[in-house]
Structure 1
Amino acid sequence: MVPTLLFEVMLVGLLGIGSQWVAWRYRMPAIVVMSITGLLAGPIFGIMNPEEDFGELYSPIISVAVAIILFEGSLNLSFKEIRGLGRPVFRISTVGAFLAWILGSLTAHYIAGLNWAAAFVIGGLFIVTGPTVIMPLLRQSKLKPRPAKILKWEGIIVDPIGALLAVFAFEIISFLTSNNPDGSQLLIFFAASVFAIILGWACGRGIGWMFETGHIPDFLKSPAVFIVVIASFTFADVIVHETGLLAVTAMGMTLANMGISSVEDMRHFKENISILLISAIFIMLTASLQVETLLKVFDPNIIGYVLLMMFIVRPLSIFLSTIRTDLALNEKILLSWIAPRGIVALTVSGYFASILSEGGYADATIITTITFALVFTTVVAHGFSIGWLAKKLHLSMEGRPGTLIVGSNNFTVNLAKSLQKAKAPVIIVDSSWERLRKAREAGIPFYHGEMLSEQTEYNLDTIPYEYMIAATEYNSYNALVCTTFMPEYGRTNVFKVSPYRHDLNGMGDLVNKVGGRILFRQDLSLDDLNQKTKEHYIFRQTAITNQYPYKQYLNEKDEDTVLLYIMKPSGRMKYYSEELRVTPEPGDTVVSLTPPVKEKKKIRQRLENQRNNNGNGKSKS
């Protein structure tokens, strides 16, 4: 066991964030890495048992984490954005979710053997797929736009709904199955629920008004929201248990629909806090499992439940809810299979397990076991099969990793043409139709819109693109774009052209310290790159082989050559940057912006011939 509680807090954080890093580094599902880590630290090696060690603090920590996670999820529920999502998304998120809840609850009762209250609670939780597990899978599999959009928005919309469904299901089923049902208790619960919704709405409107009128400074906005979320959850939960979840969801939805510009900043803060909380809570939950509880995963009833949820309940809910929609059969098959339950489901199930335990339900002890079994199985099965299945169903966008370029100009259009030649997806985004003329004439895919607007976020399919380059003439805008999209693309995949200015003999601009990595070299500004294209510099591909190694290439290349990116035989690519080490190997192709050496030689030869002819003419005269 760990020596002190402080050491255990440190260890939980270290293992959680460390697991997230390992998952990112080796492109693995984070939930799988965290599950294995928590089990190793807890029931397998007995290093810690957070539920015992934290004592009375354990439940409040789980509750606060659940409140923050649900609030962060509800911040995405803007009615304006949901309205235009199309019929299949709406049907799957409503009819499909309801069918999945009913069928899942019946399966939990008759197959897993749970009592009705626990079955309907867990049935509500398991309609949640969640964007935290769906988005990495979509990027990994490069799904075509329509199925990717449906899976993405199903996760976003249903994420907060599942927990609320579990709350109401628990109270109603508990009332219906009680030996001495008391209608007043149910009325009190519904009255408290209405109060919690009003409280959440009032907190959202209040904090939003204070933001808009400048009563809260920028540096206090995120911390203030953080505290108000906890306060609204606590006040509602103190009045009637479980209603705190309603309050924070109502608060998040209220803020999401107020049209406040600073909500986006809060969303990034909440995402960061959610990642920290999710990582820590997941380690705590899995490390607190008992060996006996863990072994119940292999119970035939639980195994049967998991299989039925995957192969019967999900397909039925998808096929029935999408009747008379324009979805093709291959799209329905993919949607029927892909439904990984994530960290939110396990975290919230831990919260409800404690509630059921306090209510005297014996089944509370196996709720976490069932949840862990379904979460782990679906993440592994769907995570490792989505790419293969998408290809088999012809729903995968085949090809190399793509690049999204913000800013249309001579250099970016020519860079996009070189990427097209390398068979890598590319798109240029610009808010000016006139600047996009160069891209249109060159046959480059383009999107006309403001990259930082919410409308672009929901209308532009970014799944095929793993890299982002900000290359507009405005250095501050480039830095802002990189800062905004760094959480989505990753720090090593976001680049901006250098803000280098010759008139200041150096950077001279603080934006070089903000945002993404400098593309290519720090002494090359966008003006320099555009000038080189005007001087007819050539985008040249050079194969690196054992006979022509990279070192020889560097020695022989022209000193004015700009190294752009390398393309590997596997299709992976890397952009050059002084902040990243790029070392091509035999088999790789180096793409560079090279001076027109042959043309220079021809021009030089022509000038020499003219001089010779002029000299001969003078001598004759």
Structure 2
Amino acid sequence: MALETTSTLIGTVPAVALVGIAGVAAQWAAWRFQLPAIVLLLVFGILVGPVTGILDPAAQFGSLLQPLIALAVAIILFEGGLTLDFKKLAGAGAGVFRLVVIGAPLGWLLSALALRFGAGVSWEVSCVFGGIMIVTGPTVIAPLLRHARLRKRPAALLQWEAIVNDPIGALAAVLAFQVVIAARGADEPGFGALVVGVLFAGALGWAIGWAIVKAFRDALVPEFMKVPVLFTAVIAGFALSDMVLHESGLLAVTVAGIVIANAGLPSYTELRRFKEHATVLLVSGLFILLAASLDVAELGQLTWRAVLFLALIILIARPITVLAALLGTDIPWRERLLVGFTGPRGVVLVAVAGLFGERMAAVGIADGGLVGPLAFVLVAGTVVLHGFTLAPMARAMGLSGGDIPGVLLVGGSRFTTALGEALAGAGLTVLVTDANHGALRRARAAGLPSYYGDILGEAAEHSVEFLEFSTILAASANDAYNTLVVSDLGPEFGRDRVWRLERSKEHRERHALPSGLSGRSLGEGRNFDALEQSLRAGASVKVSGLTEQFTAADFNARWPNALPIAELRADGRLIFTQAFDPETVAPDARLIALVFEERASGSPVDQPSDQNPAR
């Protein structure tokens, strides 16, 4: 309900457009200003909903609103399942198992106690809503992990727990609701029907996943139809499972996603990336709808006990659940504490809580009407709190990639060793990788961190902390491999952050590659042979700090034959140089260049290596 009258409501089609515009605008603003996306989504939704009264989802979408939300949640959970590759657990498997097997029941119990003694609701409402509160929100965990750049194990714990516990929380609420209504003598399916429904959902999800894998692997579905077939199978499976047992469709689609993720399909990466893009749009739209649907009158029913309830969940129930579940594991205490104090809730909780709140109110449970407002308070409180605290907490505990992300140099050579030494001296994290052990000899001798293996292989995903790096330079002697690296890692890191050396025959029409495949080149003259030959002839990679007294133009005049390679900004960003233009270089930046002659006395080249690029 808006704060004012709904006379300003727009039509259904403009409402759909407004949801999309507000969601994408919030995501872009979050990226542009380095803020948690979920927080801005809630703010934008409240602005177009309760504040201005332009958007009222219940009025504009009517009876279609809840089915649309349910289908969107199903697709989000399926995409989450697609990310749960067992090979990527990387030491977190035991922790995830405990968070699901021990943490879910314990979290249910502690959440119910917080509801009963904190919010003051009845035991019936506490048991049902406590089951829903097992979920920690995959719709919010993924954006928070991207923003905080957590290390592999705590990120895996949070991600797996959120996705696996989501359908478990919904089914726990179904079980508690069955017990409540049975105690009231209502005519509802019994416990046996619940067990059958859960088993059916699990089997159906496995069957859908197996069928998709079989069809795709045996080329029974053409490439252009794989995504439509996938979407149709997910929606059909969700609907069929829900017909047998309400909310069991969440379990079915999650199982289907996990089966596909662990099947090793050749087209899996493309499918997952498309699903990720769809999920970003769905999460954005769902949070806009959630905030716009805020009913101020319902929130007015809450008292100070809602704040007490929120504090009990965040400060007591969640930490105790995680610490007790992980007791006896080899997971470091810092990671346990970080996971224990990170438990944001999302759209799934609000959607399921609203449904069961209405159903409990319908069977005569007076407190059922408080479930919806309490769910919104929990989601808003945890999203805002964790959105602003997760990144700084992770940095303080040493569990994030740091404020100044580094550079990944692919290919061991004279050039990457010299460049790596210069970048490391400037304060950046550097890693040199190569599939040839001998090619890393120079880098190891120079004291640079190195990784022996294919950076595109599965082993690298377990051994390399990719979150420590924001920029990649493919600089091996193999032009084709450099192209493969930028093509494969470009979507993950951003194509503006992935570079390669100039190919030896780059400018010949016969050897030209499509722009979407070739990636960003360092520019003319910056190919492997030319750079190696220059270094053999005595050139060196130097760092030159620019000031008002020594500008980029002065640098160019002092070393006219130098070959600028990159520009290191004051905030730590590294920008490789395709074509050097003194007019576009930031006045307080540092130039990294291949210098062909000895520095002049008193010049600023080769500044002390302990200088911090963020200063």
User: Which of residues 396, 400, 404 is equivalent to 2:404?
Assistant: 400
Shift of 1:116: 4.8
1:34 aligns with 2:34: no
Distance 1:261 1:368 in 2: 43
Instruction: Quote the Cα distance in structure 1 between the aligned partners of 2:30 and 2:357.
Output: 33
Aligned to 1:541: 543
Preserved CA contact (<8 Å) 1:544 1:550 = yes
Closer, same or farther: CA 430–214 of 1 in aligned 2, 3 Å = same
1:42–1:539 Cα change, 3 Å: same
TM-score, length-scaled by structure 1 = 0.86
2:168 alignment partner in structure 1? 165
1:425 aligned onto 2:447: no
Quick one: structure 1 residues 142 and 188, their matched pair in 2 at CA, closer, same or farther if it must change by over 3 Å?
A: closer
Distance 1:269 1:461 in 2: 24
Relative to structure 1, the CA distance from residue 116 to residue 492 in structure 2 (aligned partners, 3 Å threshold; closer, same or farther) is farther
In the other structure, the counterpart of 2:259 is: 254
In structure 1, what residue type is equivalent to 2:64? Answer: L
Q: Which residue in 2 is equivalent to 1:201?
A: 206
In the superposition, relative to structure 1, how do residues 315 and 458 fare at CA in structure 2: closer, same or farther (>3 Å)?
same
Q: Does the aligned pair in 1 maintain the 2:141–2:159 contact within 8 Å? A: no
TM-score of the superposition, structure 2-length normalised? 0.86
Q: Which region of structure 1 is more displaced relative to structure 2, 466-475 or 456-465?
A: 466-475
1:54 alignment partner AA: F
Shift of 1:37: 0.2
Q: Percent identity?
A: 32
Shift of 1:512: 3.9
User: Judging changes above 3 Å, is the alpha-carbon distance between structure 1 residues 14 and 347 closer, same or farther for their aligned structure 2 residues?
Assistant: farther
Partner of residue 574, structure 1: 575
1:521 aligned partner: 523
In the aligned structure 1, how far is the partner of 2:138 from the partner of 2:180? 34
CA displacement at 1:115 relative to structure 2: 4.7
Moved more, 311-320 or 223-232: 311-320
Which residue of structure 1 aligns with residue 449 of structure 2?
445
Does the 8 Å CA contact 1:401/1:573 hold for their aligned counterparts? no
Per the alignment, in what secondary structure is the counterpart of residue 374 of structure 2?
helix
Quote the residue 1:552 is aligned against. 554
Aligned residue among 243, 248, 251 for 2:248: 243
Instruction: Tell me if structure 2 keeps the 8 A contact 1:566–1:584.
Output: no
1:120 CA drift (Å): 4.5
1:76-98 deviations in whole A, cap 9, x for unaligned? 23344448436445434543344
In the TM superposition, what is the alpha-carbon distance from 1:390 to its structure 2 partner? Answer: 4.4
C-alpha separation between the residues in 2 aligned to 1:3 and 1:300? Answer: 36
Compute the displacement of 1:242 (Å): 1.5
Alignment of 1:216-365 (within 5 A): 216-295=221-300, 299-337=303-341, 339-342=342-345, 345-358=346-359, 360=362, 365=369
1:334-367 CA-partner distances (Å, limit 9, x unpaired): 3332x1415xx22442244135424626656544
Distance of 2:452 and 2:212 partners within structure 1: 34
1:393-444 deviation line (CA, Å, top 9, x unaligned) = 5656667321122222332222211111112111123233233333223322
- The CA distance in 2 between the partners of 1:346 and 1:292, in whole Å, is 21
Q: Deviations over 1:36-80 (max 9, x none)?
A: 000000001111112210112211210110110111111223344
Which 10-residue stretch deviates more, 349-358 or 314-323?
Answer: 349-358
2:611 corresponding residue in structure 1: none
> Which of these two proteins has the greater Rg computed from alpha carbons?
1
Distance 1:598 1:552, change over 3 A: closer
Structure 1 segments of 4+ aligned residues over 6 angstroms from their partners: 579-582
Q: Which residue of structure 2 aligns with residue 413 of structure 1?
A: 417
Structure 1, unaligned runs of 5 or more: 600-621
Q: How many residues align?
A: 588
Gaps of 5+ in 2: 1-7, 601-615
Paired with 2:129 and 2:512, the residues of 1 have a C-alpha distance of: 54
Larger displacement relative to structure 2 (573-582 or 228-237): 573-582
* One-letter amino acid of the counterpart of residue 4, structure 1: G
What do residues 131-151 of structure 1 show as CA deviations (whole Å, max 9, x unaligned)? Answer: 6655665565566xxxx3332
In 1, Cα distance between equivalents of 2:84 and 2:582: 41
Q: Which secondary structure does the structure 1 equivalent of 2:567 belong to?
A: strand
RMSD: 3.1
> Could you tell me which residue of structure 2 aligns to residue 593 of structure 1?
594
Q: Which residue of 2 aligns with 1:102?
A: 109
User: Does structure 2 retain, via aligned residues, the 8 Å contact 1:66–1:348?
Assistant: no
Within 5 A, what are the aligned runs for 1:63-102?
63-82=70-89, 84-85=91-92, 87-102=94-109
- In the alignment, what sits opposite 2:505? 501
Mapped contact 2:76–2:139 kept (Cα < 8 A): no
> Counterpart of 1:16 in structure 2: which amino acid?
G
Query: How many Å separate the matches in 1 of 2:296 and 2:597?
Result: 69
Provide the residue aligned with 1:376 in structure 2. Answer: 380
